[in-house]
Amino acid sequence: MSKELIRLENCSMAFDDELVLKDLNLYFNDKEFLTLLGPSGCGKTTTLRIVGGFTTPTSGNVLFDGVRINDVPPYKRQINTVFQKYALFPHLNVFENIAFALRLQKREDPKNPKRKIPLAEEEINQRVGEMLDIIGLKGFEHRKPDALSGGQQQRVAIARALVNRPKVLLLDEPLGALDLKLRRDMQMELKKIQQQVGITFIYVTHDQEEALTMSDTIVVMDKGTIQQIGTPEDIYNEPKNAFVADFIGESNIIDGVMVKDCMVRLYGHNFTCVDGGFAPNEAVDVVIRPEDIDIVPVDQGHIEGTVTDVTFKGMQYDIIVDFRGFKWLIQSTDHCPVGSRIGVKIDPEGFHIMKKSEYSGKF
Closer of 46 and 208 to ligand ATP (Cβ)? 46
Among 5, 6, 8, 20, binds ligand ATP (CB under 6 A): 20
Smallest separation, CB 15 to ligand ATP (Å): 3
Helix and strand element counts for the chain (H, E): 8, 22
Q: Is 75 a residue that touches ligand ATP (CB under 6 A)?
A: no
Closer of 40 and 112 to ligand ATP (Cβ)? 40
Q: Is 41 a residue that touches ligand ATP (CB under 6 A)?
A: yes
Closer of 32 and 222 to ligand ATP (Cβ)? 222
Cα–Cα distance for residue pair 240/231, rounded to 1 Å: 13
Closer of 41 and 361 to ligand ATP (Cβ)? 41
Q: Is 211 a residue that touches ligand ATP (CB under 6 A)?
A: no
Q: Is 289 a residue that touches ligand ATP (CB under 6 A)?
A: no
**Among 105, 42, 97, 118, which Cα is nearest to 75's?**
105
- List CB contacts of 241: < 8 A, sequence separation 6 or more: 227, 228, 285, 354, 355, 357, 359
SS3 of 114, please?
Answer: strand
Select the span of 37-45, 72-80, 130-138, 154-162 touching ligand ATP (CB under 6 A).
Answer: 37-45
SS3 of 153, please?
Answer: helix
Q: Is 277 a residue that touches ligand ATP (CB under 6 A)?
A: no
Among 45, 93, 194, 241, binds ligand ATP (CB under 6 A): 45
Cβ atoms of 212 and 232 closer than 8 Å? yes
Q: Is 30 exposed, middle or buried (0-12, 13-18, 19+ CB in 10 A)?
A: middle
SS3 of 349, please?
Answer: helix
Cβ atoms of 218 and 235 closer than 8 Å? yes
Q: Is 206 a residue that touches ligand ATP (CB under 6 A)?
A: yes
Among 42, 134, 169, 175, binds ligand ATP (CB under 6 A): 42
Cα–Cα distance for residue pair 290/249, rounded to 1 Å: 9
Q: Is 247 a residue that touches ligand ATP (CB under 6 A)?
A: no
Q: List for the chain the helix, strand, coil content (%; round to 5).
A: 30, 40, 35
Among 6, 11, 28, 46, binds ligand ATP (CB under 6 A): 46
Smallest separation, CB 26 to ligand ATP (Å): 14
Report angle CA 159, 161, 167 to the nearest 5 degrees.
115
Smallest separation, CB 50 to ligand ATP (Å): 10
Number of residues that bind ligand ATP (CB under 6 A): 11
Q: Is 127 a residue that touches ligand ATP (CB under 6 A)?
A: no
Cα–Cα distance for residue pair 219/84, rounded to 1 Å: 20
Q: Is 344 a residue that touches ligand ATP (CB under 6 A)?
A: no
Q: Is 239 a residue that touches ligand ATP (CB under 6 A)?
A: no
**Binding site residues, ligand ATP, CB under 6 A:** 15, 20, 38, 40-46, 206
